[in-house]
Amino acid sequence: MTSLREGAPAVVKREDYTAPAFVVDTVDLTFDLDPAKTRVLNKMRLRRNPGVAAQPLRLDGEELNLARVLVNGAGTSFKMDGQQLVLEKLPEGDEPFELEIFTTCNPSKNTQLMGLYVSQGTFFTQCEAEGFRRITYFLDRPDVMASYSVTLRADQTAYPVLLSNGNLVEQGPLEDGPNGPRHYAKWVDPHKKPCYLFALVAGSLVHREQKILSRSGTEHTLQVYVRAGDLDKTEHAMNSLMASIAWDEARFGLPLDLERFMIVATSDFNMGAMENKGLNIFNTKYVLASAATATDVDFGNVESVVGHEYFHNWTGNRVTCRDWFQLSLKEGLTVFRDQEFSMDMAGSPSARAVKRIEDVRVLRTAQFPEDAGPMAHPVRPDQYAEINNFYTVTIYEKGAEVVRMQQTLVGREGFAQGMKLYFERHDGQAVTCDDFAQAMADANPASDLARLLPQFKRWYSQAGTPRVQAQGVYDAAARSYTLTLSQSCPATPGQAVKEPFVIPVALGLLDAQGQELPLQLAHWTQPEQGSRTLVLTEASETFTFVNLDSEPVPSLLRGFSAPVVLEHAYSDAQLLTLLAHDTDPFNRWEAGQRLALRQALAAIQADGPVPTEVLNGAYLDAMRGVLRHTGLDAAFKELVLTLPSETYIAEQLDVVDPQRIHAVREAMRAQLANALHADWAQAFDAHQHNGAYRPDPVSSGRRALAGLALQMLCLAARHTGDPVWPGKALQRFKDAGNMTDRFNALNALVGSGHALAQNALERFHALFKNEELVLDKWFALQAGAPDHGGHILPVVKQLLQHPDFHLKNPNRARSVIFSYCNANPGAFHRADAAGYVFWSERVVEIDAFNPQVAARLARALDRWKKLAEPYRTAAREAIARVAAKADLSNDVREVVTRALAD
Ligand code: B3K
Ligand code: ZN
């Protein structure tokens, strides 16, 4: 992020890439750590890059005070060009030379949390994407990889722990300073790395340690550092790290390449975590977990984020990105890897499907809107004004789907071979998305991926969510079923026309009783059992299945085999068949979602007031059937019985009236609550006891279903006035032996707007007033609760005045402001525009000290153009008010400029 706050932000283009003019071989950093004035001595050994024409050295820097520049030990002339330090008089030729730069910076004033900053008295760094330039002048780009040694010097009492990347090679006392004893530690990283992977931590921390042996018998030390008092919440993170290490070795043959691997937690962090080589820095939210303070979802997130950052050690760190346009090379691939890890950890086919459904839900509720909005960009973008704005669901989650499709096209074993070739070719290099896909194809020369590679790569270059239309015609006389698949992709900013994609469509056919039918395409001699993946490459293609005695029910896009919108004119009866019988659990769930969605859309688009009966009897009976089913897992039932979100429903409409969507969905929830009352009660009773807390898929699924049941029972009580279930919810809230049950009970009371909720909220606050992460939940629950007559915004405003609310802490800001603006559409979109006014004020307020967080919040109105009046005009005015501010960061400027573009 740049602090340039005037004029139009400069746009960086992928096509302008040129290799660096200099190579940095070694970097030797010495820090004298002081919150107000940290001194940084940066001694580098550089050479001119042989293949590049001789030119001045331009080093990036930001908010640094420059004191001294020496070349080969002697003073030299230099000039500043904007934020860059330019050295023109450097030794000619290929010989290496020494460059010494001495700067100071002020970590205590660093509210952006990029570069070197202080959180609760401890120093942390965050360098990705362009934070290293806030620490010292450097060639701050990922394709400059160097060997680092780092000496940290600090007061011993305040900063007893001094950490950096690699191995600790020396430590000891220094002469006393004005604050008493001082000490130092020297770290050497054995691996070359780009500067975005540099890290240091200095402060008063405690740690959990674990020794492990890798498959080859090498010993490694694993450490998790936290504040004193949090050690009892680190066991799950350590277990997750050990499981990640074992998994990467077993599945991909990738071992830990470091003697020591450290994770450090901080409460002040802009995102989830950071994969710095050997020294991962984490938001506490993704490290700390105990039964008393974390929910099952939190436990799952810790496992997946610990895995994600660890997997970056190979996919990101050993092989990194040539430039930031290639970000998905490491992020899409690493998300794919963490998804696979979580699935393998989950074990049973049902638990794997639950994870897949959850991932697809994220993709469809967050990435599909992004792909259809003003910030739409390809998985490998062509340009950006601010790279931090491109850490998006498209780069991450759609990028992971693009990797997943490659696995689908080459098979699981072929994919492992492709990974092997990728590392053989590129270990130690900074490469491109093309290099990855090429390795995958070359390792599988006979695969569809190799055959279709140039076309497949359109997934990297074309933005937008493709739509696949499926039409089936059964010919009784010919006993054949002809399936026509057609694809199209809407225009996105800067891309009016799209070429056809390579779309793997996994499918099966069921008979009317739900039995899986053998598949036989017309040209096959033999039928096949089970699923088959068709590869759609043309705008439209026809596939004819033969030997079918009756019209089949197609189960299309099984497992969500491609990130597309699938349109097919299913009859209700066909969807009910799929919901009841499909062997593919994803499509079983999807059938239920489609049934609910079509009824929601009918009620939303109908004239007149919102009906109380939105859901038909067949759907309610089917849901009852799922709830009572003895063969389905609780976790899966919970997913099926959860209605599509308001955001997802909105995406299906051309014109969005958020209040009508909210009202219709609330009516559906109420109907589901009332109509299935006895079944919910039975489900709650059957799933409420789970023994000693363990966050495994089976017991967490049981807690999830019990939680949903309780929510439904309290919702029904709101309509009937029945005091029994709210009373039971309060009791459970009090008695619960773990945070999941406790929070679900609280949520049931708050979500149903019951009078007992207030009392429970107060107790909850009193119980957990010293637990930051639990307080975040407390804030988020209130800001994200279902709105009744506009009551949430005043609640939100009051929460901002709460003594525990701290705007500068990103987790806390997110817990209230994002929960309201980004995650509570029914409360945020108000006819009086007060939600938008609130949003615009907060964007500007936060932008003044933390542009990255502000720019995320600024995305809340991305889809304003779809809104019905009066929301549309009011939203545009709110965005225009933000855009009219003269001193916006590049980050927010880019978001609002794109939002207002035609
Ligand atoms: N690579 C980091 C994200 C850095 C974000 C910089 N704005 C975390 C991750 O994806 O693992
Ligand atoms: Zn990542």
Who contacts 523 (Cβ-Cβ below 8 Å, separation ≥6)? none
Same-domain status, 193 and 226? no
Alpha-carbon dihedral of residues 566, 572, 573, 578, nearest 10 degrees? 40
Residue that finishes a domain, picked among 138, 173, 204: 204
Ligand 1, atom 8, lies closest to the CA of 274
Mean pLDDT by 10 residues, the chain (902 residues): 56 98 98 98 98 97 98 97 96 95 98 98 98 98 98 98 98 98 98 99 98 94 98 98 98 98 98 98 98 98 99 98 99 99 96 98 98 98 98 99 99 98 98 99 98 99 98 98 98 98 98 96 92 97 97 98 98 98 98 98 98 97 98 98 98 98 98 98 96 97 98 96 97 98 98 96 98 99 97 98 98 98 98 98 98 98 98 98 97 98 91
Is residue 809 domain-resident?
no
- The ligand with the least distance to the CA atom of 315 is 2
User: Ligand 1, from 275, 396, 890, 894: best to mutate by most atoms within 8 Å of Cβ?
Assistant: 275
Residue 666 annotated among the catalytic residues of the structure: no
* Distance from C-alpha of 419 to C-alpha of 888, rounded to nearest angstrom: 43
Ligand 1 atom nearest residue 271's Cα: 5
Does residue 444 contact residue 417 with C-beta atoms inside 8 Å?
A: yes
Is residue 868 domain-resident?
no
**Total structural domains in the chain?**
4
Q: Which residues surround ligand 2, an ion (CB under 5 A)?
A: 331, 334
pLDDT at 9: 73
Query: What's the burial of 454, exposed, middle or buried (CB within 10 Å: 0-12/13-18/19+)?
Result: exposed
* Distance from C-alpha of 369 to C-alpha of 245, rounded to nearest angstrom: 35
Residue that finishes a domain, picked among 288, 310, 333: 288
Same-domain status, 278 and 404? no
Cα of 435 from ligand 1 centre, angstroms: 21
CA 894 to each of CA 9, 311, 864, 899: distance values in angstroms, whole numbers, following the listed order: 7, 31, 16, 9
Count of Cβ atoms closer than 10 Å to residue 730 Cβ: 21
Same-domain status, 474 and 539? yes
Ligand 1 atom nearest residue 309's Cα: 11
Cα of 326 from ligand 2 centre, angstroms: 13
* Distance from C-alpha of 186 to C-alpha of 172, rounded to nearest angstrom: 9
- The ligand with the least distance to the CA atom of 128 is 1
Report the CATH number that the domain containing residue 403 is assigned in CATH. Answer: 1.10.390.10
- The ligand with the least distance to the CA atom of 132 is 1
Residue range of the domain that includes 474: 467-562
pLDDT at 902: 86
CA 542-547-550 angle, 5° bins = 90
* Distance from C-alpha of 898 to C-alpha of 884, rounded to nearest angstrom: 14
Gyration radius from the chain CA atoms: 28
3-class secondary structure per residue, 468-479: EEEEEEEECCCC
Residue with tokens 């109509």: 675
Same-domain status, 42 and 131? yes
Is residue 720 domain-resident?
no
pLDDT at 719: 87
Ligand 1 atom nearest residue 312's Cα: 11
Ligand 1 atom nearest residue 129's Cα: 6
Report the CATH number that the domain containing residue 118 is assigned in CATH. Answer: 2.60.40.1730
pLDDT at 2: 45
Terminal Cα distance for the chain, rounded = 26
Break the chain down into helix, strand, coil percent, rounded to 5: 45, 20, 35
Ligand 1, atom 5, lies closest to the CA of 128
Who contacts 393 (Cβ-Cβ below 8 Å, separation ≥6)? 362, 363, 366, 367, 370
Local structure of residue 40 (DSSP, 8 states):
E
Cα of 362 from ligand 1 centre, angstroms: 18
Same-domain status, 358 and 369? yes
Ligand 1 atom nearest residue 308's Cα: 11
Cα of 848 from ligand 2 centre, angstroms: 27
- The ligand with the least distance to the CA atom of 1 is 1
User: Ligand 1, from 113, 124, 127, 274: best to mutate by most atoms within 8 Å of Cβ?
Assistant: 274
Same-domain status, 523 and 404? no
Ligand 1, atom 1, lies closest to the CA of 274
- The ligand with the least distance to the CA atom of 332 is 2
Which residue, among 345, 282, 312, has the nearest Cα to 700 in the 3D structure? 345
Cα of 391 from ligand 1 centre, angstroms: 7
* Distance from C-alpha of 236 to C-alpha of 286, rounded to nearest angstrom: 10
* Distance from C-alpha of 820 to C-alpha of 797, rounded to nearest angstrom: 10
Is residue 81 domain-resident?
yes
Report the CATH number that the domain containing residue 542 is assigned in CATH. Answer: 2.60.40.1840
Ligand 1, atom 9, lies closest to the CA of 274
* Distance from C-alpha of 663 to C-alpha of 75, rounded to nearest angstrom: 71
Ligand 1, atom 4, lies closest to the CA of 128
Same-domain status, 195 and 247? no
* Distance from C-alpha of 395 to C-alpha of 384, rounded to nearest angstrom: 13
Q: Is 433 helix (H, G, I), strand (E, B) or coil?
A: helix
3-class secondary structure per residue, 813-832: HHHHHHHHHCCCHHHHCCCC
Is residue 853 domain-resident?
no
Who contacts 882 (Cβ-Cβ below 8 Å, separation ≥6)? 840, 843, 844, 858, 888, 892, 896
Same-domain status, 132 and 215? no
Cα of 660 from ligand 2 centre, angstroms: 37
Who contacts 531 (Cβ-Cβ below 8 Å, separation ≥6)? 506, 507, 508, 558, 584
Ligand 1 atom nearest residue 388's Cα: 7
Same-domain status, 158 and 229? no
User: Ligand 1, from 244, 331, 390: best to mutate by most atoms within 8 Å of Cβ?
Assistant: 331
Cα of 273 from ligand 1 centre, angstroms: 7
pLDDT at 1: 44
pLDDT at 7: 57
The one catalytic residue among 303, 309, 590, 772: 309
Is residue 661 domain-resident?
no
Ligand 1, atom 7, lies closest to the CA of 388
Chain length of the chain: 902
Ligand 1 atom nearest residue 272's Cα: 8
Cα of 533 from ligand 1 centre, angstroms: 34
Q: Which residues line ligand 1 (CB under 6 A)?
A: 128-129, 271, 273-275, 308-309, 312, 331, 388, 391
Report the CATH number that the domain containing residue 237 is assigned in CATH. Answer: 3.30.2010.30
Model pTM above 0.95: yes
Ligand 1, atom 2, lies closest to the CA of 274
pLDDT digits (tens, 9 = 90+) for 88-113: 999 999 899 999 999 999 999 999 99
Q: Is 538 helix (H, G, I), strand (E, B) or coil?
A: coil
Is residue 603 domain-resident?
no
Is residue 552 domain-resident?
yes
Cα of 270 from ligand 1 centre, angstroms: 9
Which residue, among 142, 156, 144, 129, has the nearest Cα to 47 in the 3D structure? 144
DSSP per-residue letters across 344-400: HHH-SHHHHHHHHHHHHHHIIIIIHHHHHSTT---SS-SEES-GGGG-SHIIIIIHH
Same-domain status, 335 and 435? yes
Ligand 1, atom 3, lies closest to the CA of 274
Residue that finishes a domain, picked among 241, 273, 288: 288
Same-domain status, 169 and 74? yes
CA 575-576-582 angle, 5° bins = 80
Local structure of residue 585 (DSSP, 8 states):
H
Same-domain status, 385 and 489? no
